[in-house]
């Protein structure tokens, strides 16, 4: 059967506009009541990457979270709001405050849950790999994932499938980066975790997205859309098209397709609402290291001494907070008097430092030849 996907215009984050667009998204899929029943525990999982204001477009907008929460409550179910931000735990309450999730909890009465202190279950894939997943994800009767559409310097794009990586509490995320240093291996980990936590429904906040060197250091990009589906892989395929990636370019999508977790082609996706081909979509700036990902592994090894892209620090932006030091899975960043210093010997280019720096102080430095390539 084809995957059904809803695309709805949403001009801004005004509450009434978001509420109406969310309602239409659900209606295109047969109504939220198809997925949510009275008294069920419904985990609503936004992307709460870091403790930043919603205007930075790093996190799922609180108005989207509020609208979905209220629809869940309308059906007599019990919403629980939770996600694990990137990196080691520096205070989930600060993340809730700054991302305005606390405000949503106050407006709706929904409970906030900290994955970091809720405990984990070990869950094993059919291939025998065990992952430690936050208990509230597994204990929920229904999971509604609220993804944010952004570019990503490691996985090129983060949307529906990658959002479930936040089911892993705190420091373990860094461990998984270390165990899977190559982008393709890491994409496999992301898909494994997704396969153990498949949401019943995913809604993508693509009203204001992120372009450039996301998921935290890029720039906000207006697209004015909400997308929804029970099929997260289909959503990623459409989202990648919206951003301007080529078909087959996103590793997580390819791996998920190989595992039989989503449609193999656009012909198997039935879209309802806006016609994607008729939308005047903005051109997204894609991650600056994208070209490196197109080079085959064997060639990359040979040319690495001459062609490289690696993280470095913009002195003027750095506040010496040491978040990057704490979160580097290979301990390649060391504390310094004015700013941390990199030792690239063991760096696996996981881009955690780039992703988690709250000040946009970590940038991608390119060798002279890499700059010429693009
Ligand atoms: S580079 Fe960013 S994360 Fe690292 S110390 Fe500076 S401000 Fe903090
Ligand atoms: S220095 Fe940055 S890119 Fe390199 S391993 Fe550490 S966190 Fe990852």
> Which tens digit of pLDDT belongs to each residue from 280-293?
788 999 998 887 87
Give the angle 129-293-353 at the CA atoms, nearest 5°. Answer: 70
Least confident of 32-36, 101-105, 188-192, 290-294: 290-294
The residue whose CA is least distant from atom 4 of ligand 1 is 324
pLDDT for 19: 98
pLDDT for 330: 94
pLDDT of 279 strictly over 90 = no
Q: Is 319 in the pocket of ligand 1 (CB under 6 A)?
A: yes
pLDDT for 299: 81
Helix (H) or strand (E) holding 299: helix 297-303
Residue 329 Cα, ligand 2 centroid: separation in angstroms?
7
CATH of domain 290-373: 3.30.70.20
C-beta separation of 325 from 340 below 8 A: yes
Phi, then psi, of 20 in degrees rounded to 5: -65, -40
Distance from C-alpha of 281 to C-alpha of 69, rounded to nearest angstrom: 29
pLDDT of 238 strictly over 70 = yes
* Nearest atom of ligand 1 to the alpha carbon of 353: 3
pLDDT for 45: 98
C-beta separation of 62 from 100 below 8 A: yes
Domain with CATH 3.40.50.11440 in the chain: 3-278
The residue whose CA is least distant from atom 2 of ligand 2 is 353
Residue 235 Cα, ligand 1 centroid: separation in angstroms?
33
CATH of domain 3-278: 3.40.50.11440
* Nearest atom of ligand 1 to the alpha carbon of 317: 7
Q: Who's near 314: CB < 8 A, 6+ residues apart?
A: 360, 361, 362, 363
pLDDT of 1 strictly over 70 = no
């Amino acid at each position: 059967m084809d995957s059904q996907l809803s695309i709805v215009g949403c001009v801004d984050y005004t509450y009434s506009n978001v509420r109406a667009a969310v309602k239409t998204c659900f209606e295109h899929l047969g109504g939220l009541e198809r997925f949510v029943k009275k008294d069920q525990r419904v985990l609503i999982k936004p992307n709460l990457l870091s403790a930043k204001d919603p205007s930075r477009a790093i996190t799922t907008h609180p108005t989207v979270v509020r609208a979905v929460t209220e629809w869940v409550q309308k059906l007599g179910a019990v919403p629980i709001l939770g996600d694990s931000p990137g990196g080691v735990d520096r205070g989930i309450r600060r993340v809730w405050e700054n991302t305005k999730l606390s405000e949503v909890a106050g407006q709706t009465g929904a409970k906030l849950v900290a994955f970091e202190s809720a405990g984990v279950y070990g869950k094993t894939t059919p291939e025998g790999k065990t992952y430690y997943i936050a208990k509230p994800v597994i204990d929920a009767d229904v999971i509604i994932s609220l993804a944010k559409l952004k570019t990503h310097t490691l996985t090129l794009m983060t949307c529906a499938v990658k959002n479930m990586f936040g089911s892993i509490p705190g420091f373990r995320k860094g461990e998984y980066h270390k165990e899977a240093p190559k982008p393709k291996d890491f994409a496999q980990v992301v898909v494994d975790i997704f396969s153990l936590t498949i949401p019943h429904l995913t809604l993508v906040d693509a009203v204001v997205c992120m372009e450039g060197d996301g998921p935290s250091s890029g720039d906000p990009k207006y697209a004015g859309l909400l997308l929804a589906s029970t099929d997260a892989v289909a959503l990623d395929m459409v989202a990648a098209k919206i951003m301007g990636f080529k078909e087959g370019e996103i590793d997580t999508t390819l791996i998920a397709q190989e595992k039989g977790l989503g449609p193999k082609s656009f012909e198997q996706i039935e879209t309802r609402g806006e016609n994607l081909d008729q939308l005047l979509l903005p051109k997204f700036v894609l991650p600056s290291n994208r070209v490196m990902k197109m080079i085959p592994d064997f060639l990359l090894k040979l040319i690495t001494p001459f062609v490289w892209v690696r993280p470095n620090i913009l002195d003027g932006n750095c506040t010496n907070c040491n978040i990057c030091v704490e979160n580097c899975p290979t301990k390649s960043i060391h504390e310094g008097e004015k700013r941390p210093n990199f030792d690239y010997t063991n760096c696996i280019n996981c881009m955690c430092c780039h992703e988690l720096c709250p000040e946009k102080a970590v940038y991608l430095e390119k060798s002279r030849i890499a700059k010429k390539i693009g």
